[in-house]
Amino acid sequence: MPFLLQALVYLGAAVISVPIAKRLGLGSVLGYLIAGVLIGPFALSLVGEQTDVMKFAEFGVVILLFLIGLEVQPSTLWDMRKAIFGFGGAQVVGTSVAIAGFSMLLGLPWQTALAVGMVLAMSSTAIVLQTLDEKGLRQGPVGRAAFGILLLQDLAVIPMFALLPTLATIAPSVHAEAAGHGGGSLVAHLPTWAQGLSVLAAVGIVVGGGRYLVRPIFRFIAEARLREIFTAAALLIVVGVASIMQMVGLSPALGAFLAGVVLAESEFRRELESDIEPFRGLLLGLFFITVGAGIDLGLVARQPLVLIGLVVGLMSLKFLVMFGLARLFGAPARGAAAVATALAQGGEFAFVLLTFTVGAGVIGATLAALLTAAVAVSMALTPVAMILYERIAAMMDAAIPKVVPDTGEFDDSEPDIIIAGFGRFGQITGRLLTANGFRSTVLDSDIEQIDLLRRFGRRVHYGDATRMDLLRAAGIERARMLIVALDDREKTVELVETARKAYPDLVILARAWDRRHAYDLLANGADAVERETFESALALGTTALQKLGYRAHRAYRAASFFRRHDRKSFEELRPIWGQEEAYILASRDAAQTMDRLLATDLARLRPGDAGGAWDTASLDEELKERAERDASRREGAK
- Which one-letter DSSP state was computed for residue 173? P
Specify the pLDDT at position 290. 77
- The verdict on residue 582 lying in a domain is yes
Q: Tell me: do 562 and 464 sit in the same domain.
A: no
Contact predicate 605/611, CB 8 Å: yes
Q: Tell me: do 415 and 389 sit in the same domain.
A: no
The CA distance from 87 to 151, in Å, is 11
* pLDDT at residue 57 greater than cutoff 70: no
Residues 6+ apart with CB under 8 A from 523: none
Q: Tell me: do 572 and 524 sit in the same domain.
A: no
Q: Tell me: do 367 and 451 sit in the same domain.
A: no
- The verdict on residue 251 lying in a domain is yes
Q: Strand locations in 372-413, DSSP E?
A: none
The CA distance from 425 to 533, in Å, is 10
CATH number at residue 104: 1.20.1530.20
- CB neighbours of residue 577 within 10 Å: 16
Specify the pLDDT at position 616. 46
Give the per-residue SS3 of 47-110. CCCCHHHHHHHCHHHHHHHHHHHHHCCHHHHHHCHHHHHHHHHHHHHHHHHHHHHHHHHCCCCH
Name which of 233-237, 489-493, 592-596 the model is least confident about: 592-596
- The verdict on residue 401 lying in a domain is no
H-type alpha helices, 579-615: 580-604
- The verdict on residue 538 lying in a domain is no
Q: At what angle do helices 333-342 and 125-135 cross, to 10 degrees?
A: 130
- What's the angle, vertex CA 42, arms to CA 38 and CA 48, rounded to 5? 85
The CA distance from 588 to 72, in Å, is 26
Q: Tell me: do 365 and 425 sit in the same domain.
A: no
Among residues 199, 33, 191, 213, which one has the least CA distance to residue 127?
Answer: 33
Specify the pLDDT at position 173. 52
The CA distance from 280 to 133, in Å, is 13
Question: Once rounded to an integer, what is the mean pLDDT over residues 531-558?
Answer: 86
| Start-to-end C-alpha separation, the chain | 52
Q: How large a percentage of the chain has pLDDT more than 70?
A: 82
* pLDDT at residue 574 greater than cutoff 90: no
Specify the pLDDT at position 344. 92
Q: Tell me: do 232 and 304 sit in the same domain.
A: yes
Q: Tell me: do 198 and 238 sit in the same domain.
A: yes
Question: Once rounded to an integer, what is the mean pLDDT over residues 6-33?
Answer: 78
- Of 462, 497, 532, which residue constitutes the final position of a domain? 532
- Of 395, 417, 437, which residue constitutes the final position of a domain? 395
- Of 374, 395, 416, which residue constitutes the final position of a domain? 395
Contact predicate 347/125, CB 8 Å: yes
- The verdict on residue 586 lying in a domain is yes
Q: Tell me: do 489 and 351 sit in the same domain.
A: no
Q: Tell me: do 432 and 565 sit in the same domain.
A: no
**Total count of domains within the chain:** 3
Q: Tell me: do 258 and 344 sit in the same domain.
A: yes
Phi (first) and psi of residue 511, to 5 degrees: -85, 130
CATH number at residue 493: 3.40.50.720
pTM of the model: 0.53
Q: Tell me: do 103 and 225 sit in the same domain.
A: yes
Q: What's the mean pLDDT when you consider all of the chain?
A: 78
Contact predicate 288/61, CB 8 Å: no
How many angstroms separate the Cα of 466 from the Cα of each of 91, 222, 420, 485? 37, 44, 9, 12
Domain that holds residue 437: 406-532
* Residue scoring higher pLDDT (223 or 431): 431
Q: Tell me: do 387 and 412 sit in the same domain.
A: no
H-type alpha helices, 139-268: 141-163, 176-179, 192-212, 214-224, 227-247, 252-262
